[in-house]
């Protein structure tokens, strides 16, 4: 989905991708970081010459990774969906192809239009939609009482069909997309096509008088708050780097906030090194024993004999701080967590090449439960307990890890990891 906007500095037209967090103007060379207090809000302009009052109905627009823990395995995919953020039979259940064919605009502070408040969260709306069209025909049945009467391990004969135990959305771009409608003779009309929005007369379920909070996007100059020089950012970066004073800045509606980070340095420096960012998280895990490295060895059934000191050594969860397709994301999170990389760290970015961060720490924290599920050696027994399993953040640190930049791959020899460059390229489109 592409968004039409004007450069706040010079007024030149700019077309943005929905994942863009940086506006760079080709005319005046301004670079601005785009921020929001909760969700980005866009609207489709209505057709011209409509006499009735126009009001704007919110839809959730979701793009991101989707993981499902099903029976004894993890299914993953990319989701690209537009679903209503209010419940009403008099509206279109989806905006169809419009996000691909029409260019919406940012809701602006000067907009005096009526934007209705969302009444359903994305998840609530998603569940409602899924009851109509099931996710790849997997029956949703979280009735766990079936398992409680069995002390013996659950066998194939007990599970007659697949069960979805947990699902999670990660690395999402979630925004509100407003579609214009109007009322004529008790029927809601689509104000783009000028035709009735559904077969149902208006059911009275919308708060037509209540205008939404109308929170608009904010544009901040990408200047380092510490040294005043230009920071480095890619169009989808959520963390900006200042190579001049070795500082990192997370974007927030209040401005830029300093972000702690660590560099795990390569043994010798060389020109083909690039530092890829990862989130290293210390978590308090509930529902399953995962406090130390020894716990992990048992949980994942690693072929290692447990040393006494492992019972005391802290356990960190890892996840990439860059977007990659779901299978690569799962693989990297699992491998790094199982390997528990441990090297001397410093916090100096001078002279090193770093790969941009486009996956925020909050999303990495969300992914820990899926990583736990993925590492478990006995999934069939563990998955029914996923409802009572959780993980709260204690500490989350951005860690740069050195990789060798080859033609098609980034390679980490000590960890025996390779990441296809293609996967990173595909990730930028998630
Ligand atoms: Zn400009
Ligand atoms: Zn600086």
Domains identified in the chain, total number: 2
Same domain, 157 and 274: no
Answer whether 373's CB lies under 8 Å from 334's CB. Answer: no
Q: Which ligand is nearest to the CA of 32?
A: 1
Does some domain include residue 229?
A: no
Same domain, 209 and 287: no
Q: Which ligand is nearest to the CA of 11?
A: 1
Q: Which ligand is nearest to the CA of 350?
A: 2
Q: Read off the pTM.
A: 0.85
Contacts of 298 (CB under 8 A, 6+ apart): 289, 306
Q: Which ligand is nearest to the CA of 228?
A: 2
Same domain, 192 and 45: yes
**pLDDT at position 243:** 86
Same domain, 83 and 155: yes
Closest CA to 234 of 219, 217, 222: 222
- pLDDT of 330-383, one tens digit each? 999 999 999 999 888 888 888 888 999 999 999 999 999 999 999 999 999 999
- pLDDT of 245-266, one tens digit each? 999 999 877 789 999 999 998 8
Does some domain include residue 274?
A: yes
**pLDDT at position 150:** 33
Centroid of ligand 1 to alpha carbon of 46 (angstroms)? 27
Domain boundary, last residue among 218, 246, 273:
218
Centroid of ligand 2 to alpha carbon of 251 (angstroms)? 15
Centroid of ligand 1 to alpha carbon of 7 (angstroms)? 5
Same domain, 410 and 292: yes
**pLDDT at position 214:** 61
Does some domain include residue 233?
A: no
Does some domain include residue 31?
A: no
Does some domain include residue 285?
A: yes
Same domain, 97 and 188: yes
Same domain, 132 and 189: yes
CA atoms within 13 A on the CB side of 323: 23
Same domain, 63 and 180: yes
Centroid of ligand 2 to alpha carbon of 239 (angstroms)? 13
Does some domain include residue 138?
A: yes
Centroid of ligand 1 to alpha carbon of 29 (angstroms)? 6
Does some domain include residue 94?
A: yes
**pLDDT at position 52:** 92
Same domain, 205 and 354: no
Same domain, 191 and 289: no
Q: Which ligand is nearest to the CA of 240?
A: 2
Does some domain include residue 2?
A: no
Centroid of ligand 1 to alpha carbon of 20 (angstroms)? 16
Domain boundary, last residue among 218, 251, 279:
218
**pLDDT at position 152:** 33
Centroid of ligand 2 to alpha carbon of 242 (angstroms)? 5
Domain boundary, last residue among 163, 188, 218:
218
pLDDT in tens, the chain (430 residues): 899 999 988 999 999 988 888 999 999 988 899 888 888 889 999 999 999 999 899 999 888 899 999 989 999 988 888 889 998 888 888 887 787 788 899 887 777 788 888 888 888 888 777 765 434 333 443 433 333 333 333 333 334 578 889 989 887 888 999 999 999 999 999 999 899 988 888 888 787 766 666 677 888 889 999 999 988 888 888 899 998 899 999 987 778 999 999 999 888 878 899 999 999 999 999 999 999 999 999 999 999 999 999 999 999 999 999 999 999 999 999 999 999 998 888 888 888 889 999 999 999 999 999 999 999 999 999 999 999 999 999 999 999 999 999 999 999 988 899 999 999 888 887 7
Same domain, 157 and 288: no
Same domain, 126 and 264: no
Domain, as residue range, for 84: 36-218
């Amino acid at each position: 989905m592409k968004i039409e906007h004007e450069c706040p500095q010079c007024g030149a037209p700019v077309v943005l991708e929905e994942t863009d967090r940086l506006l760079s103007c080709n005319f005046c060379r301004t670079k601005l970081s785009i921020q929001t207090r909760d969700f980005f809000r866009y609207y489709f302009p209505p057709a011209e010459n409509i006499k009735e009052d126009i009001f704007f109905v919110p839809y959730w627009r979701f793009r991101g990774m989707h993981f499902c823990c099903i029976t004894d395995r993890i299914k993953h995919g990319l989701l690209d969906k537009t679903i209503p953020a209010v419940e009403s039979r008099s509206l279109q259940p989806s905006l169809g192809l419009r996000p691909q064919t029409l260019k919406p605009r940012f809701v602006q502070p000067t907009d005096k239009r009526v934007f209705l408040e969302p009444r359903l969260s994305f998840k609530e709306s998603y569940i409602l939609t899924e009851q109509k069209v099931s996710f790849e025909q997997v029956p949703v049945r979280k009735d766990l009482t079936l398992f409680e009467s069995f002390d013996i391990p659950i066998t194939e004969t007990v599970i007659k069909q697949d069960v979805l135990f947990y699902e999670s959305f990660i690395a999402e771009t979630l925004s509100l997309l407003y579609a214009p409608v109007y009322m004529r003779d008790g029927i809601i009309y689509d104000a783009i096509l000028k035709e009735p929005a559904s077969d149902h007369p208006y059911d009275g379920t919308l708060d037509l008088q209540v205008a939404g909070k109308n929170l608009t996007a904010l544009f901040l100059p990408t200047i380092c708050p510490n040294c005043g020089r230009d920071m480095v950012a890619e169009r989808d970066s959520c963390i900006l780097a200042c190579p001049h004073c070795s500082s990192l800045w997370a974007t927030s509606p209040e401005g830029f906030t300093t972000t702690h980070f660590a560099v795990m340095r390569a043994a010798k420096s060389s020109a083909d090194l690039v530092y890829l960012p990862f989130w290293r998280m210390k978590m308090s895990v509930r529902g399953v024993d995962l406090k130390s490295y020894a716990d992990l060895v048992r949980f994942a059934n690693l072929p290692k004999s447990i040393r006494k000191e492992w019972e005391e050594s802290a356990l960190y969860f890892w996840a990439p701080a860059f977007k990659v397709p779901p299978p690569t994301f799962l693989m990297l999170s699992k491998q790094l967590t199982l390997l528990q990389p441990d090297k001397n760290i410093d916090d100096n970015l001078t002279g090193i090449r770093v790969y941009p961060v486009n996956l925020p720490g909050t999303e990495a924290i969300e992914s820990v439960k899926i990583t736990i599920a993925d590492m478990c050696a006995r999934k069939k027994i563990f998955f029914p307990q996923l409802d009572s399993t959780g993980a709260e953040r204690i500490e989350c640190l951005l860690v740069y890890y050195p990789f060798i930049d080859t033609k098609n791959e980034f390679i980490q020899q000590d960890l025996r990891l390779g990441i296809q460059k293609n996967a990173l390229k595909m990730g930028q489109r998630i």
